[in-house]
Structure 1
Amino acid sequence: MNSTQQLHDAGQSLWLDNITRDLLKQGTLQQYIDTLSISGLTSNPTIFDQAIKRSDAYDDAIRQRQVTGLSDEEVFFEIALEDITQAADLFLPIHVRTCGVDGWVSLEVSPTLAHDTATTLTVARDLHHRADRRNLLIKIPGTPEGLPAIEEAIYAGIPVNVTLLFSREQYLAAAEAYLRGIERRIADGLCPEVGSVASLFISRWDVAVAHQVPNNLANTLGLAIGRRTEQAYRDLLASPRWQCAFNAGARPQRLLFASTGTKDPNASDVLYVEGLAAPLTVNTMPEATLKAFADHGSLRAGQEAVPHDHETILAEFAAAGVDIDSLAQRLQDEGAASFVTSWNELMAVIAAKRNQMTSD
């Protein structure tokens, strides 16, 4: 049994943090499903930017829309929906087999809306309707402005992947928004079974403090934040409030570990997969990390190599001058800005391809 199968059997879902038209057309994604236990997929503006920029696989789709009068953003979402719905169909058997627990794919609203509650909700409704797939999660950032949109989307029955979470406190705020939406559905006699995950970004923590702390703390902050948040997640699910929601038919909003590709070339390339293996959670990983874990990952090595006392580790970071709360806010702000940059680059790539096609 390979290590990805072992991780799956231990109760954690493995999702791929990537999508390209070539992955779909060449059967690579189906191969990952069949042989590496991949049971879901996430995407973001950076992934689509790289996919369209580095390949001509999307040129025909762009060319077909040259005379439609669509904006560059509208062209993108039509193209993205083609990929996402095809991926959703590949994962549908898993979604059905797990009764809606797994087999999800994610599509993000424009990151320029991270601080626009009303438009975020409008776009989320539109994308969910246009995709018409029961296993599609709409990604909405867990910013202060995104939280009301998350609650309203859940109340409307739209499955949500809450993105850009960096701390226990940000996770708990997102979980509260989700639960409020579910409780409102219960109060109004609606089915409370609305899928959701809360995506906690891991590796960016260690990048942020790489040159600020002693060597013995290198590449431990992301894992400590992950474990602290996982503990809060399990405490929340065990609370009387959640137990009431479960009793009414709700399902957990699972904690998802995102940004789990190792950035430090001197660290293990499967550090965050091995160190955050936990049942009833999701790990969405880049292709390179997936292949590395399949090749030489070890659940036992991960559990033995990483200290479990996350609060002691976090106290050591505090003693070294790292303000966890302020850094979490900075990382969320920078993450939102980074996705906007990727979005703008993506729009520029589409515009450039369309202009080239017109001149040809």
Structure 2
Amino acid sequence: MADALKRLSDEGVAIWLDDLSRTFISSGELAELMDTSHLVGVTTNPTIFQKAISGGKGYERQLSDLAVRRVTVEEAVRMITTADVRDAADVLRPVFEATDGRDGRVSIEVDPRLAHNTHATVAEAKQLAWLVDRPNTLIKIPATEAGLPAITEVIGLGISVNVTLIFSLERYRAVMDAYLSGLEKASAAGLDLSRIQSVASFFVSRVDSEIDKRLDGMGTEEAAALRGKAALANARLAYQAYEEVFASDRWAALEREGANRQRPLWASTGVKDKAYKDTLYVDELVAPGTVNTMPHATLEAVAEHGEITGDTVTGGYEQARADLDALEKLGISYDEVVRLLEDEGVEKFEKSWTDLLESTEAELKRLAPEA
């Protein structure tokens, strides 16, 4: 069943799961996937926690204790989510140690309402790192304009970071620059660079969803021929940018100090259009030194019928550029699309966070003792 996942791992792609819940940890399912499916990491986001906690299973006792203490809803949410991340990090600790800190990581995101506030994002990242208190944690910071200096500052403090919500090639280059600047700050502060890890989460399927919608509205054969090509082209050109940055003299100087590359992470790899193969964003994004974080359904699909045929990225740069150029010629503005997707991404996570706060507050009120 897991042969395709093994081949994927053998090609240098770290397999992470984009999901987490308390019952997933306590049932032993996380540990089982590590054994059977080559799983070496976990990512979370506000939407994932909202679904897990609003489902209720596994959280009743902690919610009851928090209600008795009459904590604020913000404190309750942070106590619950950091507990899950801490427990998952403990399960993944053997992978962390076996890979010298490269994998075995669990990501937790700063409050999405802080996405446009640099100083608050830094403060939140420091607080989360302290609360979880596990070396195999990654703090997720969105790649907004305000997020870029926050990334530099947090990396400079020696805190490992998962940069999230990257859609554009220009922003991705800015993210890599922010990472290198952070490493330089950490070096100047005398920190051990080998202990700092980072991934850059480049979102995939949402690009096709938005551009395909526009192509369908044109109703031409030329437009139809470009359906399903934008996301892969965008990701492949991102990998080209990664290769260029990490072949630079600037990077070489940091590497001599023991620094780790910031790996590209393919996020949003669940296929949303049923016309496409459900393993599309895994099969077609195989490249060494990358991470693919998948929802459960995609992980299972790859195990059952994934077609891992080797590197499907590095030979496709010319065609990728041609595909994006063809979209521009049809009047689809790349810059406008990626800007829209970033704004929507932040808004969706803010809504999920608000929903999480509201559902948690309702539970705290229900369980609170009478005055």
The answer to whether the superposition gives a TM-score over 0.5 is: yes
- Counterpart in the other structure of 1:224: 233
Q: Is the 8 A contact 1:271 1:302 kept in 2?
A: no
- Counterpart in the other structure of 2:54: 53
1:192 and 2:193 aligned = yes
5+ unaligned residues in a row in structure 2: which ranges?
216-222
- Counterpart in the other structure of 2:160: 159
Distance 1:301 1:352 in 2: 50
- Counterpart in the other structure of 1:205: 207
Identity of matched residues, %: 40
> Which digits, 9 at most, give the CA deviation of each residue in 1:260-319, with x for residues without a partner?
000001111000000111110100010000000001001129949x96610011111111
1:243-258 matched pairs, under 5 angstroms: 243-258=252-267
- Counterpart in the other structure of 2:220: none
Q: Is the 8 A contact 2:67 2:369 kept in 1?
A: no
- Counterpart in the other structure of 2:292: 283
Distance 2:97 2:43 in 1: 19
Distance 1:54 1:188 in 2: 44
- Counterpart in the other structure of 1:341: 351
1:331 and 2:341 aligned = yes
Q: Which amino acid aligns with 2:99?
A: T
Distance 1:220 1:4 in 2: 24
Distance 1:283 1:215 in 2: 28
Q: Which moved more, 1:322-331 or 1:200-209?
A: 322-331
Q: What's the CA shift for 1:212? A: 1.7
TM-score norm. by structure 1 comes to: 0.96
- Counterpart in the other structure of 1:2: 3
TM-score norm. by structure 2 comes to: 0.93
Q: Is the 8 A contact 2:68 2:368 kept in 1?
A: no
- Counterpart in the other structure of 1:322: 332
Partner-residue secondary structure (3-state), 1:105 = strand
Distance 2:213 2:79 in 1: 42
Q: What's the CA shift for 1:356? A: 2.2
5+ unaligned residues in a row in structure 1: which ranges?
none
Partner-residue secondary structure (3-state), 1:24 = helix
Partner-residue secondary structure (3-state), 1:264 = coil
Distance 1:225 1:324 in 2: 10
1:352 and 2:369 aligned = no
Q: Is the 8 A contact 1:21 1:57 kept in 2?
A: yes
Q: Is the 8 A contact 1:42 1:105 kept in 2?
A: yes
1:15-94 matched pairs, under 5 angstroms: 15-94=16-95
Q: What's the CA shift for 1:322? A: 1.4
